[in-house]
Amino acid sequence: MNDNKVTLAVSGKFHAFHLASEYARMQKLSKLYAAHRTIKPPKNLTNKQYKNRIDLAIAVHISSRLPFFGMTHEKKDAIFDAWLVKNLKNEAPGILHSWNGNSYKTFNSLKNTDWLKCVERSCPFNMYQHELLSAEADYLNIEYFKDQSSLAREIEELYLADVIVAPSQYSASTYKDPELIKKVKINPLGANIKYKDRQARKPTFVVLMVGNYFLRKGTHYLIEAFKLIERGDAELWIRGDVPKEYTKRIKDKRVKIIPPVLPDELVELYLAADVFVQPSIDEGFGMTVFEALAFGLPLVVTENVGAKDLLSTQVSITVPIKNPQVLAEAIMRAIEMPSKAFDEARKKILYQVSWSGCAQRMLESVYIR
């Protein structure tokens, strides 16, 4: 295990707060630098360990509703990066674990020092993802934009790092440059999600999908697959962002687009569903898969859903991306999966997927040059 303490830096939240809490419990955390609308430190952290630019987070939140306010995510990340450089000047070298996109200047400033520079990127390699989503946007005639200067900085940041953390085989497999490949370490994310007994289902047949970022989630292919399911009692519930220009194309009245919900309302969706589908064409991990599994839902996931690394054929069916016919057939097979063996298998999977385990693996096998 690396003896140095870990400094986490995230221009947002992601799962950095979970890791920070575990590192603090293990007395391996130096500080958590963040830009998030959370005043109170994560569990186990002292106020001294929690350095948060809440002003940046609030400015982005306001700008999302009042664009003229002018705080884009790219601008927030640049300000956060400069702030991080300033703060680390007086810190003793250790392990810096940051998230891709918010540490370009910081990594440059730490060249030729004793800092171990670790960058986490849950998504696949930046250019791979950009080209994948560009092609999908063209196919669906949906707007997609990626600032090219930001894309270039994000990629250069990977080259400046000593270690690149990927959460799945899928994400790791998208790196093709040998220089980057040798830096990549795979460490699945955690999920402190408790096993729940399966509830009696209602007479209707509900297929559920949960996830934002329309182009990445493969929502279109699920809707096309659902057209092939002829059961009159079937409904497709999509809790995710579907662009208005695409929503107008949906003619199947059995498809229900659900706006953002509170946590208790999301629980009700899981309880009412019969099968959970993650049809993503790009999903570095996919935490909702384990949420659904906790409620006893059989899973259908694509080969580009990173969480499949931790699943088994007893609880899930894996299908190719962009294939509505195979997806529809898998959904109908998944209905028959719940059983005593299914419950034992999902209980074992949920027990093994934890944030403490994720943090331990980081310390033992990721933070290595």
43 and 109 fall within a common domain: yes
360 and 319 fall within a common domain: no
- Give residue 2's pLDDT: 62
| Residue 200 within any structural domain of the chain | no
219 and 311 fall within a common domain: yes
| Residue 37 within any structural domain of the chain | yes
166 and 216 fall within a common domain: no
- Give residue 220's pLDDT: 96
127 and 229 fall within a common domain: no
291 and 335 fall within a common domain: yes
262 and 359 fall within a common domain: no
CATH number at residue 71: 3.40.50
SS (H, E, C) the chain: CCCCCEEEEECCCCCHHHHHHHHHHCCCEEEEEECCCCCCCCCCCCCCCEEECHHHHHHHHHHHHCHHHCCCHHHHHHHHHHHHHHHHCCCCCCEEEEECCCCHHHHHHCCCCCCEEEEECCCCCHHHHHHHHHHHHHHHCCCCCCCHHHHHHHHHHHHHCCEEEECCHHHHHCCCCHHHHCCEEECCCCCCCCCCCCCCCCCCEEEEEECCCHHHHCHHHHHHHHHCCCCCCEEEEEECCCCHHHHCCCCCCCEEEECCCCHHHHHHHHHHCCEEEECCCCECCCCHHHHHHHCCCCEEEECCEHHHHHCCCCCEEEECCCCHHHHHHHHHHHCCCCCHHHHHHHHHHHHHCCHHHHHHHHHHHHCCC
231 and 182 fall within a common domain: no
| Residue 57 within any structural domain of the chain | yes
- Give residue 1's pLDDT: 59
CATH number at residue 341: 3.40.50.2000
Mean pLDDT by 10 residues, the chain (369 residues): 87 94 98 95 96 96 90 94 96 96 97 96 97 96 92 97 98 98 97 89 89 94 96 94 90 93 94 96 96 97 98 98 98 95 96 95 95
319 and 242 fall within a common domain: yes
| Residue 304 within any structural domain of the chain | yes
pTM: 0.94
183 and 39 fall within a common domain: yes
| Residue 197 within any structural domain of the chain | no
| Residue 1 within any structural domain of the chain | no
Specify the residue for token string 């007395």: 27
Q: Which residues partner with 258 through β-bridges?
A: 239
- Give residue 14's pLDDT: 86
Residues of the domain holding 267: 205-352
| Residue 348 within any structural domain of the chain | yes
| Residue 198 within any structural domain of the chain | no
59 and 183 fall within a common domain: yes
72 and 171 fall within a common domain: yes
